[in-house]
Amino acid sequence: MATRRFLILLTVVLGVTVTAAGLMAAGSHRPAVVAPIYLSLPVAGLSESAPFVGTGRPDAPTAAARPAVLRLNDEGVTLYEIGQFSDALAKFEQAMAADGTDRASRRNLAFTKAQVAWGYLEDGGYADALRTFAEADLVQPGEGGVLQGLGAAHYKLGNITKAEAFLERALDADPNLATALKLLGEIAYRRDDLEDAGAYFASAFRLDPSDAVVRDRLERVRADVRAQAGLWTLEGRHFTVRFEGRESMVVAQDVMRRLESTYREVGQQWGAFPDGRVPVVLYTDRTFRDLAVTPGWAQGMFDGKIRIPVGGAASNGRRLDEAVRHEYTHALVHARTGGNVPTWLSEGLAIASETRAADESREVIRKAGRLIPLHELHGSFLTLPFTQVPLAYAESEAAVRYLLARHGEAAVRTLLMRLGETRDFAAAIRDATGGTYAEFQSAWMRSLIDARKTDG
């Protein structure tokens, strides 16, 4: 039996640290001392060492403000300082109800809502984060830090066009918002706009030259500029294909046809279509090995761009179809979930999209002495012992086929949709299947054991 050519998803998922702006104590002309509260924001941007800050400082209440407003505002600031944001919100809302014209209470309310929203984003509650950032923006329109939050929330929800608009408005309000610069750089990079991507990352790097992740991203963009300097470009309706040499035009056109067909078929199957054109780079086999940081057995990769070696695949239509469908599925799943997806699910869907028989995966599982629990297959397979990698891919395929057989394609569409809204995979799979993650794993494991007994 032929050995399966395993493919791999290499997705950049990097954290962003953020903190809310300081609040102004009522009746005072100095800002209240608020210790930075750093949150790990799981967006597919770049890590940020500088805190999230709003634009400017809140205003103190006017001398004409009523004593009740001063008291409520002071109590709200005290609660904020000790991290009781919900209670602080209640105080600022009461202050606003007592006097809706008080600027300090209004701005403090907006900043506290923004802090709560960053908390939702940290916990994977993307829809709640978006709603709360929007409330903050209504209270205090035009604050750069709040607009940045709206952009980040839309980014995590896969609303890239809206994310870009809010992030650009954030920079108009405050050009030194590093998170906005990094996310805009990531958006530009993913649509293959290397000039804009380089400019955004360079601006973010100037704000913090010690940020190694931004430096690495900037170097990656510059490397792509050098690598693509001699490439030809073919524009399609949903893809931009770059390739080496005019003599490869026929191959590029063939890949474009396969991509457009896959776009329709896989998109309809999983109920999702990425925004904008997906960038694709075709390489000779040798160039791919030289440029792509992948294991030797990888036949393609997705890192914001689909990268496929087509030297041998060009003469093998089935192999090329499999590579195109596999890597495009990674791109679609990443776009739908914002990269918030267990590796087993992404790889399983990508393999299932190849439309090949499951014989090879069944054989790998049958011969395995010990199966790997699904919850151990959420991270990169590159961290696994090499001998376990074939089993990890085989189990990924088997788990997705079981999910489809037991719950149908509608459950997969629901699961992907929910993963675009929350980082809580257990909650997402419960919404998709009606059962717990533990129940799904247990039932799937039993099905594998029963199949191994049947196969002898």
Of 1.25.40.10, 3.40.50.300, 3.30.1330.60, 3.40.50.970, which CATH number belongs to 14-227? 1.25.40.10
Nearest to 397 by CA among 420, 374, 416: 374
User: What's the CA dihedral at 129, 134, 138, 139 to 10 degrees?
Assistant: 10
d(CA 366, CA 63): 78
User: What's the CA dihedral at 42, 47, 49, 55 to 10 degrees?
Assistant: -70
Token pair 């294909």 is at which residue?
Answer: 241
d(CA 390, CA 67): 70
pLDDT in the model for residue 245: 78
pLDDT in the model for residue 313: 54
pLDDT in the model for residue 318: 83
Can you give the pTM of this predicted structure? 0.70
Let me know: does 337 contact 158? Beta carbons within 8 Å: yes
Q: Alpha helix (H) ranges present in 174-208?
A: 178-190, 194-207
Q: Alpha helix (H) ranges present in 82-177?
A: 85-98, 103-122, 126-139, 144-156, 160-173
DSSP assigned state of 157: T
pLDDT in the model for residue 138: 93
Let me know: does 94 contact 71? Beta carbons within 8 Å: no
Q: Does domain 230-339 have CATH number 3.40.30.160?
A: yes
What phi and psi values does residue 307 have, to the nearest 5 degrees? -125, 120
pLDDT in the model for residue 33: 26
pLDDT in the model for residue 49: 27
Average pLDDT, the chain: 81
pLDDT in the model for residue 422: 86
d(CA 186, CA 46): 8
What phi and psi values does residue 325 have, to the nearest 5 degrees? -65, -40
DSSP per-residue string spanning 362-391: HHHHHH-SSPPPGGGSSS-GGGS-GGGHHH
Let me know: does 36 contact 330? Beta carbons within 8 Å: no
Token pair 């100037």 is at which residue?
Answer: 206
Query: Other C-beta atoms within 10 Å of 207: how many?
Result: 17
Q: How do the domains of the chain map onto residue ranges?
A: 14-227, 230-339, 340-456
Per-position pLDDT tens, the chain of length 456: 333 332 222 222 222 322 233 344 433 322 222 222 212 222 233 223 222 333 333 444 454 457 888 888 888 888 888 888 889 889 988 988 888 888 888 888 998 999 999 999 888 888 899 999 999 999 999 999 999 999 999 998 888 889 999 999 999 999 999 999 999 999 998 888 899 999 999 999 999 999 998 999 999 899 888 878 888 999 999 999 999 877 789 999 999 999 999 999 999 998 888 888 899 999 887 777 776 656 666 778 898 889 998 876 555 778 889 999 999 999 999 989 988 899 999 999 999 998 777 778 888 888 887 889 999 999 988 888 888 999 999 999 999 999 999 999 999 999 999 998 888 999 999 999 999 999 999 999 988 888 776 665
